[in-house]
Structure 1
Amino acid sequence: MTSIGSKVRLAAPSIDPVVSDYTIGYIQHVSNSTTDSVASQQLDIKAELSFVNDLLVSAGGNPKKVSQLISSLSADLETQLKDNAEKLNLTGDTSKRLLDINLLNSHTRKVNNSMALMGATRDIEHTGRKIETRVDKKKLEKAERKIAKKVAKRDNKFVKYEASKLLNETQDENYDEFFLKINPIDFGSGAGKSKDIKIEDFDLYVGAGQRILSNATLTLSYGRRYGLVGQNGIGKSTLLRALSKRELNVPKHISILHVEQELRGDETTALQSVLDADVWRKQLLFEEKKINDRLNEIESLRNEFHEDSLEVKKLDNESGDLQSHLEEIFEKLEEMESSKAEGRAASILFGLGFSTESHSKPTNSFSGGWRMRLALARALFCKPDLLLLDEPSNMLDVPSITYLANYLQSYPSTVLVVSHDRSFLNDVATDIIHQHSERLDYYRGANFDSFYATKEERMKNAKREYENQMAYRKHLQEFIDKFRYNAAKSSEAQSRIKKLEKLPILEAPEEDKTITFKFPDPEKLSPPILQLQNITFGYSKDNLLLKNVDFDVQLDSRIALVGANGCGKTTLLKILMQQLDPIDGIISKNPRLRIGYFAQHHVDSMDLNLSAVAWMAQKFPGKNDEEYRRHLGSFGITGTLGLQKMELLSGGQKSRVAFAALCMNEPHVLILDEPSNHLDTSGLDALADALDKFKGGVLMVSHDVFVIDKVCNQIWVSEDGIVSKFGGSIFDYKRYILSEADSKGVVKKQ
């Protein structure tokens, strides 16, 4: 057994030295166990070497050579175990005899040297028994990450690498720890390196083996802004999470930040929360203070010793090292413009709708939607090399979306954003990535509109090519079937068989699923339909939310109500629905008027333990199941979807059930509060088309510019308690927002 090291390195020459040394030490440990009277009785050589075999192969060793090594080791160890057992029978149990202390220390040193790289920690559980070993967690985790990369490179695949059975402990990391783990501070080693990202030939899985990408290539050029689009449930968010945790091979010098969920609230103020998000700046400022404190301490200590003393020389050497590191910190802080940080953070908060007074409020005083904005503000403030945004517009109003789009247009690094908001993607994206059918298709230099047109053209071409080939195949096959056994035509038949075999196999192009909505046409009513006159509302007379509002809705109305969050848009809808009573003013409505109301939080009114059919029957009794299913089908809830518990439906599917419910009474007017939330592109198309064809009145509060532009011909703005008609389109309103923000100095300040 003296040549274990050479045997291991010969069988697996390319594996990481950390894994190689660990394997050698482990085999040596098994070998030593054969000489121990107690351990040898429990020793299962086959199981131990099976573990070694799996470890070497997963680390990149040649399976054939590793198998030969294991066979050789197995024979040696079995012989050694047998010899030791026979010797024990002749000499008796020597395990309790006193050993020469020098011999014992020598043996211990040999074992420790072979396993020194692992340090000392804990028992390892693997084959059902415990073996005392020495494992440094950090080194082992590092080795496992290297193994995972080599396995992925060897197989040209990415499979989520599970934690080793050697170490099953997990740590609950806070934001700072996670940020520094993903983005360690770089003092210049990444300077001059490309920040382009190219990850080739990988697979991506989610859940219990469900594959969402197969043999895919992800290419992100630095400074480009990519819109990642695709149907709900296709795996877009999973791809972003894999990137954010570096489970995909993103170069280490590229910093990453992912905005996925709302900020956890605490007593930290909103402004300080944004400043703290830049963990590099926070850490560097902490180190700067720590070094300055130590330099002051060194200056005081120098006075206690003679100028030429050894202690003073040591202190001067330490001071020089600290000064050198302090200069690096100053350069890094200057590079990230640390002195301008507070002004930049305040500007971002203001652009996302936070008032100056709210900057000093604790984060736990904000609602979920505003905490999501805080998370977005923190990401924009950090300016990572790769910014990942998952549906950022869902919690924003039109002014905030407009500000965000404008901000990102001059963002200096790479952006990858998942969104179904067409107008937002048109403003932001320089390229579109379409995720579908387990692959990524690239549309370079395209915003959403040009992507959509190009995709349709590609689909037509692919369909035409497929149909032409199918017709050609059919023509060849008919000739072959007719003349295969005809002596005069046999050579021609063989020629066509060869042509048929050489034809590339084309798959039928996968067309996107289409969804249709249909709102029933109401009967005519005579005006006034629904009217507010001089309405004033507030939760107290000292704090009015709406003042002197005059507003009316007719059967031909197509009105979009826009404005910043918290300005009273939803309140106005509830007054129209007579769910809230105004302090002053008159509400007039036709007594025969029926209203269909879509609430922003419509899920709260649903019994998710029931199926859509059962819930509809409970809420609107009097029809049979077939009628409810037919009605749900007109909103895309087809087949078994209507019979499943609604808790199993996606957010978009629950929204479609809500649309179906509001139409049960055949309303004259639809009042919709954020109807586009949770709908993907096909759902938004269906909604916009159905509203456009609806014969009744429409009043909606929405942040989706595409839906507003397609459906509405009037824009009303709620601002500072006043509700007034805006003289222009939704795009004119966006330009107005930018001009207002520019005049206040919050546009294009990075």
Structure 2
Amino acid sequence: MIAINNLTFEIGARALYDDANWHIKPGDKVGLIGANGTGKTTLLRIIVGEYTPTSGTISMAKDLKIGYLNQDLLSYESEKSILHVAMEAFERQNQLHAEIETLLKKMETDYSEELIHKLSDKQIEFEALDGYNIEYRAHEILAGLGFDDEQQSRKLSEFSGGWRMRVMLARILLQAPDILLLDEPTNHLDLPSIKWLEAYLQAFEGAIVIVSHDRYFLDRVINKTVESRKGKLTLYAGNYSFYLEEKALRNEIQAGQFKNQQAKIKQEERLIERFRAKASKAKMAQSRIKALERMERVDDVDDDNPTVNFSFKFSKQSGRHVVRLEHITKAYPGVPILKNAHAVIEKGDKIALIGANGKGKSTLLRIIANADKDFEGKSETGHNVTTTFFAQHQLEALHLENEILQELQAFAPKHTETELRSILGCFLFTGDDAFKKIKVLSGGEKSRVALAKALTADANFLILDEPTNHLDIQSVNILIQALQQYEGTLITVSHDRFFLDSVANKIWYIENQEIKEYPGTYKEYEEWQWKRPIVKEKPLVNTTPKKEENKKINTYHAETPDKHKQLQKLNKELSVLEEKVGELEKEVTAIEEQLTDQALYNNPQQLKEINLRYDSKKAELSQFQQRWETLADEILTLEGT
């Protein structure tokens, strides 16, 4: 599909890629990963022809249709409705529609046979291109990405950057390209939209290349991982979790080879020193010196995963109750957020506040932080609570002329320079990086500075609004380590599920304008949600008679004998499917392990046979998984009625 051969790309004196190779095959779903600055976005731009390589080739079929989502699309402007903008994907259908409308107008006065034939030809082509369903398809994808009917009729110019990016994503998906290149597609999506996109991409029949820092998203979508590192592209035949395991194994082997080679080199050097002293052995010494020079050296393993090696201290402990919310009612014009809501944050809580955009997550954080006082009810901060509130707008509060170290020193004067340098090192600012001015930093680097500031504060309560935005996987891991060591209380909003699962011990969500709590990790919450009957939201305008208000939204009815038999039958079939899925997953994993054997790639015929078996088993597994999901839905529906 796309062949990258001996690619070299230089920026000034620095080679971002040096003789890199990669072949993207039909049906590949690849996660392109690597630390910030390793050239992931640059590689996508090279593939689509925006950048020209210094040397090497990018080969692809002339008629290959590429859909490319990048952050530059945020600047796209239009006064048309977002439904219309999404439908711009159907270029030929739109052209035909306009021509048909023109011909129909002409036929009001001209009934010539030529005009009738022309109209017929256009209509046949329009129908063949499924032109009568394009509006429905656009509506369906926009709905999946979080736009309701009213929003779809509004102008694109009325929406913020994040929502515009969703429209651009919808337009690209509607083009049905042969390959999708997606640069951080989840950056501006809430959790429901991310899950919808996951399902869409899992079913997408073309190839996909994704740059993302969302580990859960990668694990659920991709079947291969390519790491961009030190100018090379290294392929791993599995998802992100497989990559981590496989890389650890490769590093272990490499470390052993390095250790053995170093021992051999030292032994040879000792022999050379001994032989040099004897004239009769001088020739042998020279021979060994040349052998050492010709030896292909094994590199030591680099540590790509720095650890947080400082402790967070605060001068006083908070009381048991950190924040108490009572009878909180908050609304914007026409948009109710909370109604008579109650909640308590207790000392030591690590809370993840989750839900779709527009449900009021950031509003609730501002109420908790006393940054929003325009509400009814009472928000009471507990005894000895000291708070730090991190939100994306605080990046703008950084002093652009300050150096990074100066910024932290001004904010946390009680910390020594050594302590602050240590903290900056954990956030990937090492050596002279600490003396960079804020104004030259990227968005991700500014986020890391702002987070470092937040964590140096003398605060026993952290409020973090989307702290993982603009962070790569490595930086998210650092933040996770920091928060796992933090002994205070925190509440955070994030769409990064790996982050939430790693730091939270409670889940909050807003449902029916109330604050609900699940006492467990994010993974446990997701499993509970899966088994839970669907809760219908109350309408924005209450049309229920008062005497009905206190009735439960969900009720369970006694099972009829027929229903009981049906459930037994479905559960039995589900058990059989689970066993089959388990067997197939083991077979797929075994084949993936085979594909990691480098020697296999020297035998094209065997590689082809294994790849065919792998594709067959993956397809079979996918069919059984889909059937399992259908059965599970049927069972849940029956149990909830």
Given that 1:399 and 1:737 are in contact with CA atoms closer than 8 Å, whether structure 2 keeps it comes out as no
User: Alpha-carbon deviation of 1:610?
Assistant: 1.7
In the other structure, the counterpart of 1:265 is: 77
CA shift digits 1:638-664 (9 cap, x unpaired): 332232211222333322221232234
**Counterparts of 1:714-729 in structure 2 under 5 Å?**
714-726=506-518, 729=521
Contact 1:561/1:569 (8 A) holds in 2? yes
Question: 1:363 Cα deviation (Å)?
Answer: 0.7
Match of 2:17 among 213, 216, 222: 213
User: Aligned residue for 1:240?
Assistant: 44
Report how far residue 484 of structure 1 moved.
3.9
Unaligned runs of 5+ in 2: 53-57, 538-628, 631-641
Residue 87 of structure 2 aligns with which residue?
Answer: 275
Q: How does 1:353-432 map to 2 (within 5 A)?
A: 353-432=146-225
Deviation of 1:665 (Å): 3.5
What is the aligned length?
Answer: 529
In 2, distance between residues paired with 1:279 and 1:518?
Answer: 56
Residue 351 (structure 2) aligned to one of 532, 544, 559 = 559
AA aligned opposite 2:263: A
What's the Cα RMSD here? 3.3
Partners in 1 of 2:140 and 2:310 — Cα distance? Answer: 44
1:679 aligns with 2:471: yes
Q: Over residues 296-329 of structure 1, what are the superposed CA-to-partner deviations in whole Å (9 max), with x where a residue is unaligned? A: 99963x7xxxxxxxxxxxx89xx99x799x48x9
Distance 1:439 1:738, change over 3 A: farther
Deviation at 1:347?
1.5
Query: How many Å separate the matches in 1 of 2:472 and 2:531?
Result: 27
Distance 1:477 1:291, change over 3 A: farther
Q: Does 1:200 align with 2:5?
A: yes
Instruction: Output one character per residue of 1:181-220: Cα deviation in whole Å (capped at 9) or x when no partner.
Output: xxxxxxxxxxxxxxx22221221234x4542111111211
**Offset from partner CA, 1:695-737 (integer Å, 9 cap, x none):** 1112110111111111112111124422212466434655648
Q: Rate the CA distance shift 1:295–1:506 in 2: closer, same or farther, 3 A.
A: farther
Question: Which residue of 326, 331, 335 maps to 1:533?
Answer: 326
**SS of residue paired to 1:663:** helix
Residue aligned with 1:479, SS: helix
TM-score norm. by structure 2 comes to: 0.75
Letter of the aligned partner of 1:222 in structure 2? P
| CA distance in 2: counterparts of 1:496 and 1:678, whole angstroms | 52
Higher CA-based Rg: 1
- Does the C-alpha gap of structure 1 residues 693 and 404 become closer, same or farther in structure 2, counting only changes over 3 Å? same
Deviates more, 1:264-273 or 1:403-412: 264-273
- Shift of the 500–210 alpha-carbon distance from structure 1 to 2, 3 Å rule, reads closer
Measured at CA, do residues 518 and 657 of structure 1 come closer, stay the same or move farther in structure 2, by a change above 3 Å? farther
CA distance in 1, matches of 2:100, 2:531: 39
Identity percentage over the alignment?
32
How do 1:74-473 residues align onto structure 2 when only pairs under 5 Å count?
196-206=1-11, 208=12, 210-245=14-49, 248-260=58-70, 261-262=73-74, 264-286=76-98, 300=112, 326=121, 330=124, 334=128, 336-444=129-237, 446-473=238-265
Q: Secondary structure at the match of 1:561?
A: strand
Residues in 2 aligned to 1:608 and 1:284: alpha-carbon distance in whole angstroms: 52
Kept after mapping to 2: 8 A contact 1:519/1:694: yes
Deviation at 1:256, TM superposition (A): 0.8
Give distance in 1, aligned partners of 2:134 and 2:222. Answer: 27
Secondary structure at the counterpart of residue 529 of structure 1: strand
Contact 2:312 2:485 in 1 (8 A): no
Instruction: Kindly state the Cα deviation for residue 633 of structure 1 after the two structures are TM-superposed.
Output: 4.4
CA-to-aligned-CA distance 1:498-523 (integer Å, 9 cap, x gap): 64355324344444262537551444
Distance in 1, matches of 2:407 and 2:60, equals 47
Asked if structure 2 preserves the Cα contact closer than 8 Å seen for 1:425 and 1:447, the reply is: yes
Q: Which amino acid aligns with 2:149?
A: T
Give the conservation status (yes or no) of the 8 Å contact 2:352–2:491. yes
TM-score, normalised on structure 1?
Answer: 0.65
User: Following TM superposition, by how much is the alpha carbon of 1:278 offset from its aligned partner in structure 2, in angstroms?
Assistant: 3.0
Q: Distance in 1 between matches of 2:49 and 2:531?
A: 35
CA contact (8 A) 1:402 1:737 kept: no
Distance (whole Å) between structure 1 residues aligned to residue 397 and residue 131 of structure 2 = 48
2:342–2:514 Cα contact (<8 Å) kept: no
Relative distance call for 1:483 and 1:284 in structure 2 (3 A) is farther
CA distance in 1, matches of 2:344, 2:429: 34
State the AA in 1 paired with 2:202: Q
Matches within 5 A, 1:509-588: 509-512=301-304, 514=306, 516=308, 518=310, 520-522=312-314, 523-539=316-332, 543-588=335-380
Deviation at 1:570, TM superposition (A): 0.6
One-letter identity of the residue aligned with 2:470: H
Q: Tell me how far apart the structure 1 counterparts of residues 461 and 428 of structure 2 sit (CA, whole Å).
A: 22
Q: Is the 8 A contact 2:426 2:478 kept in 1?
A: no
**SS at the partner of 1:565?**
coil
- Which deviates the most, 577-586 or 211-220? 577-586
Distance 1:682 1:406 in 2: 26
Q: CA deviation at 1:466?
A: 2.2
2:397 pairs with one of 605, 611, 620? 605
Deviation at residue 545 of structure 1 after TM alignment:
1.6
- From the superposition, tell whether residues 290 and 468 of structure 1 become closer, same or farther in structure 2 (CA, over 3 Å): farther
Q: Distance in 2 between matches of 1:579 and 1:358?
A: 29
**1:710 aligns to 2:520 (yes or no):** no
> Deviation digits for residues 269-307 of structure 1, max 9, x if unmatched?
11111111233433454466678889999963x7xxxxx
Q: Distance in 2 between matches of 1:351 and 1:518?
A: 43
Q: Which amino acid letter does the alignment assign opposite residue 204 of structure 1? A: F
Question: Cα distance 1:719–1:557, how it changes in 2: closer, same or farther (>3 A)?
Answer: same
Q: Give, in angstroms, the shift of residue 487 of structure 1.
A: 5.0
Mark the runs of 5 or more structure 1 residues left unpaired by the alignment. Answer: 1-195, 303-314
8 Å Cα contact 2:319/2:347 also seen in 1: no
3-state DSSP class of the match of 1:455? helix
Q: Distance in 2 between matches of 1:395 and 1:366?
A: 12
Q: What secondary structure does 2:88 align onto?
A: helix
Q: Is the 8 A contact 1:515 1:683 kept in 2?
A: no
